[in-house]
Structure 1
Amino acid sequence: MKHSLRIGRIAGIPILIHWTFLLLLGFIIYSQVLRGSSTAATLAAVGFVLVLFACVVLHELGHALTAKHFGFVTRKITLLPIGGIASLEQLPDSPRQELLVALAGPAVNVLIALGLYPFVSGAAFAVPDIGRLTTAQDFVSALFQLNLTLALFNLLPAFPMDGGRVLRALLSFWLDRLRATRFAAGLGKLMALAFVFLGC
């Protein structure tokens, strides 16, 4: 992807960050200044976003390393303000392989959430306000909740999201790949329209 900066390499896979990610950090800092937050609160909010996107990298590595297990190469992982993209040179043709590769990313977020669960507060399921992470427990609780949210959101059966790929893989056990793809893509369009309607 053009206009991306390489920030490292993990398991031989280049990790890139798109320039628009800097706009997200700038927006967070600007929002904190507008609400009169302290420097510590502003740094906590920025730090939280960076840690959350580290979880996104781990999510994408889940896909990439599972694909590597089946002999598929991931050219790069790119971070965007809306998430991450693992760019595979070739997608698995086997329904079983595609199913496991698609599930691997959300599974990583579930494992992170399980690891954080013993340390979360009683308000772990409240809507997190990353601008008011006043304690370490607030930080951990928000990270716990957002990892669960990432897992569940990505499992929505809307192609080309992970859930859509899971659906296509399951359908491919009974249908040819083209019909399975058309069904999953059609459901994805219906879900997108539903979200637009609900957001109006």
Structure 2
Amino acid sequence: MSWSISVGRLFGSELRIHLTFFLLLAWVAASAYSAGGTAAALQNLLFVVALFACIVAHEFGHALAARRYGIKTPDITLLPIGGLARLERMPENPAHEIIVALAGPAVNVVIWGVLTLALGAETDVTDLADGQFDAASFLGQLATINMVLALFNLIPAFPMDGGRVFRALLSLFLDRVKATRIASMTGQGIALVFGYLGITTGNPLLLVVAVFIFLAAAGESNDVATRASTSTLVARDAMITQFEHLGPTDTIDAAAHTLIRTTQHEFPVITEDGTLEGFVTRNAIFKAMVSDHIAAHPVTEIVERDIPRVVLTAPLQGVMDALGKGAPAVAVVDKSGGLIGYVTRENLAELVVLQRA
């Protein structure tokens, strides 16, 4: 995720912190300082850090449960509104999806149990009402908020955890596309309620959560429908076969002229023996042209070499996954590695529209 920094790896997943999270810490510290001085600021910061440690544990609950079914979690990102575990894919087996979805809230319930049963903390929602945290009730407030997190995440607002359980239950009786559509519409309805409450109560965080749920529900519903419509297709069905390419000795200026006289947004760079070196993108050309004395340099200075390669009969869904990870294109090659064609997000989107039509 852009605007995030990596702070290390844990259980095979990269842990990242979005830069806006530090704005949250600054706001919490400033608010607490104005109300109670330095001690209050430190106590509130400590509580927020402890809270987000619990959120990280929640996300790793999802990640470790997904690993049981062979699904990796490349990274987990901390945001001001919570955590986001980016699974390679969601399990399509309803029972597996339920287990993965419930694993996160289950971690919060376990933390609540340890704090209350083992450490004697008391659960009292009224302690959270003023938004200020003190040393005397630190464990109790932490226990309470873990229980609140568990219950809140079980609300059937897709794609929250409860919404995923709802979708999985629907999938027992309906096909996945229809189940996702119903869960998505339900989630968006709940998001509108959250948005209304956020506006009427003056709670900006609830409003942000509402917007996130509304957009994420629509996005995932569209993704599921797209995958269903392309499930029987292969790379051959979507690839571009008529294109202009560049050579390693072509200049960036020449690439710019090729960009102008064609409709392509990316250009394969192919050597004389037919080997694909990579792709030069429109954005890379734009960026290079505004730099002094670089237009006459060869395109190999701006080529993107980490290009996924697939064969003609590779499933199109694998191509979609590669494009989703940020690749500008996916090269379709023959047995000797020669470029036959390539797939981009743009022509893939056109294919999906045609398939749905």
- Partner AA of 2:141 in structure 1: A
The structure with the greater share of residues assigned to helix is 1
Q: What is the 5 A alignment of 1:43-192? A: 43-118=42-117, 119-121=120-122, 124-128=124-128, 129-135=130-136, 138-192=137-191
Q: Is the 8 A contact 2:133 2:141 kept in 1?
A: no
Residues 158 and 83 of structure 1: CA distance in aligned 2, closer, same or farther (over 3 Å) = same
SS at match of 1:188: helix
SS at match of 2:17: strand
Structure 1 unpaired stretches of 5+: none
Q: How does the TM-score come out when normalised to structure 2?
A: 0.53
Larger Rg: 2
* Aligned counterparts of 2:188 and 2:156: Cα–Cα separation in 1: 10
Shift of 1:33: 2.2
* Aligned counterparts of 1:132 and 1:148: Cα–Cα separation in 2: 17
Residues 89 and 132 of structure 1: CA distance in aligned 2, closer, same or farther (over 3 Å) = closer
SS at match of 1:74: coil
Residues 198 and 125 of structure 1: CA distance in aligned 2, closer, same or farther (over 3 Å) = closer
Shift of 1:130: 4.9
* Aligned counterparts of 2:47 and 2:133: Cα–Cα separation in 1: 11
Q: Which has the higher contact order (CA 8 A, sep 6+)?
A: 1
Residues 26 and 110 of structure 1: CA distance in aligned 2, closer, same or farther (over 3 Å) = same
Q: Is the 8 A contact 1:106 1:154 kept in 2?
A: yes
Structure 2 unpaired stretches of 5+: 201-357
Shift of 1:108: 0.5
1:40 paired with 2:39, answer yes
Q: How does the TM-score come out when normalised to structure 1?
A: 0.93
Q: Is the 8 A contact 1:41 1:134 kept in 2?
A: no
Residue 15 of structure 2 corresponds to 15
RMSD: 1.4
Identity %: 49
Shift of 1:117: 1.0
Shift of 1:124: 2.3
* Aligned counterparts of 1:96 and 1:185: Cα–Cα separation in 2: 19
Residue 30 of structure 1 corresponds to 30
How many residues matched? Answer: 196
